[in-house]
Amino acid sequence: MSLGLLFTFLAIVIAGYGILDQVQKASLEMFFPWKILICAMAFSFLLSLVPYFEISYSWNIPLEYKTIFESWSFIILIGVLFLGVVRHRQARLDIKKKDKFANFLGVCLRENLFDEFDRIIKKNKDIIYQFSEDIIQGIYNQRFVRSLFQSNSWTPLELLTDDKLIKKVVSLKYKPIDTVIREMLKLEESPLQSAVVREFGGKEPYYISDREEKLIEDTFQNPDWYLNTRADYPLVMSAVEEIISGRLDEMYNGNGRLYESRQGISPRSRCIIFLSLKTHVMAIESAINKRKEGDFYISDLLDIFRNVLNHSRYNQQIWEDETVNSEHPTPFAFLIYEIANDFRSLSSKCIGAAFDSSNGSIESPGRIAKDLAAIWSFCIWEITRNKGNVSEQFRNSIIKQYLSFILQVGFEQSKVLSPIGTNIDLDEWRDLYANQLRKQLAFNSQDEAKIVLNKVVDNLDIAEQYVQQGRDWLKEQIGYTRL
């Protein structure tokens, strides 16, 4: 390569570098072999001076040697550029590059460009845990996470499937988990939303790819992951914060027909409260199906239930309007109704999981079943003493569901346990739910709550077999007083 060509090559390199944005330059600084390029250019420069030395010192260098010198000077430079392209495409990080990577993160934030960040993170999923807590916290900057999610890149959540990274997350007080979940709940579309609406309705034209479905199975539907990351906490806090902000009070105390709709796109498919609630329910259901016991924070359901109930307002004009659904006239009523249904559904699944159809035996209630009974009964006590938040008919229907479940478990097992006709001794399970309600009444003694319960007991459908057989027993359990 002649000296002129060498300077031309240098000019092209400088010009090419100059047109790059700051993020690309920071990326090249991490991966491009600049030192090797400088050495190669110095070597090529020396080779390009050979003809001048030949003239000055009257050297007689054969033509074939000159050709070799020029060829190698060109090959070396092109080889270094090729190596740089390969290394940049591979984008492999190591601990030695931590300072450069930290600088790269800062440049991305300043320039508000995140595509290169996403590419590099994807290339290094397996080693992110090796970086310091400060860098990991930087990776989970809210702006990074939001930008990637909005571009349908779920890398921030995918990284959190690494157990080694989760250990670092714990030491960061779960901040990455908090950021990821809060940002997912805000999205118009996400794999989490698709998984929820597929199971609980709210959006007909949903789509979830196999990769996204696998991601949800590895995270929110993975009991071990759910517990280790405390994913429930940002879920319940997001829901509670949305409720107590008060910005939904007027809308969610209005006509709930559209909110409850199962056709088209319902507002609940984008409702943080609904998505948080059902994600938690989905996680508990997965734990039951996989027979995983532990503290799955069933009390989170109570937190949502209590706050929704407190912000619900009974407006006779709305609640008795012919256009509303009498079962749950408003969005807030619908959420209360759904939580009550979730308690019943999860409790039934606990019984089903404990039943061994091969020998007809039933296991004793586990941790999840006991927590469900305790929290469900507390919700019942909450709604019995609440005034002005829901209609009397609605309140009684929520209480009736709990009492009917107790009687079904004890006196008509086919209502909660398949196959129909199964005659299994579920007295231990029946007593669990009855005792929890009795404890609530004893610990939170209020005559008004007992009066409400007695009224509901009196109005149970006597045509039902379980009511005929178990109502007297139930009256004894709750300390029935004839009104």
**330-347 residue pLDDT tens:** 999 999 999 999 999 999
pLDDT digits over 274-321, tens only?
A: 999 999 999 999 999 999 999 999 999 999 999 999 999 999 999 999
Which has the minimum average pLDDT: 19-28, 174-183, 417-426? Answer: 417-426
The domain spans of the chain are: 3-95, 188-478
What's the token pair of residue 231? 């994913």
Q: What is the pLDDT of residue 80?
A: 82
Range list of H helices, 366-426: 367-384, 392-411
According to the model, what pLDDT value does residue 20 have?
A: 82
Residue range 67-99, pLDDT digits in tens = 666 677 777 778 888 888 898 899 999 888 888
- How much is the pTM? 0.88
Query: Rounded to an integer, what distance in angstroms lies between the CA atom of residue 50 and that of residue 68?
Result: 12
pLDDT computed for residue 150 by the predictor: 93
Angle at the Cα of 382 from the Cα atoms of 377 and 388, rounded to 5 degrees? 145
Residue among 312, 205, 189, 201 nearest 261 (CA): 201
pLDDT tens-digit series, residues 201-245: 999 888 899 999 999 999 999 999 999 999 999 999 999 999 999
- What is the token pair recorded at 166? 């989760």
Of residues 13 and 318, more confidence is placed in 318
For residue 356, the cross-strand partners are 361
Q: Binning pLDDT at 50, 70 and 90, where does residue 386 land?
A: confident
Q: What percent of the chain has pLDDT over 90?
A: 60
Per-residue model confidence (pLDDT) at position 417: 79
**Residues 315, 250 contacting (CB under 8 angstroms):** no
CA atoms within 13 A on the CB side of 231: 30
How confident is the model over 420-443, as a mean pLDDT?
A: 83
| Residue 355, strand partner residues | 362
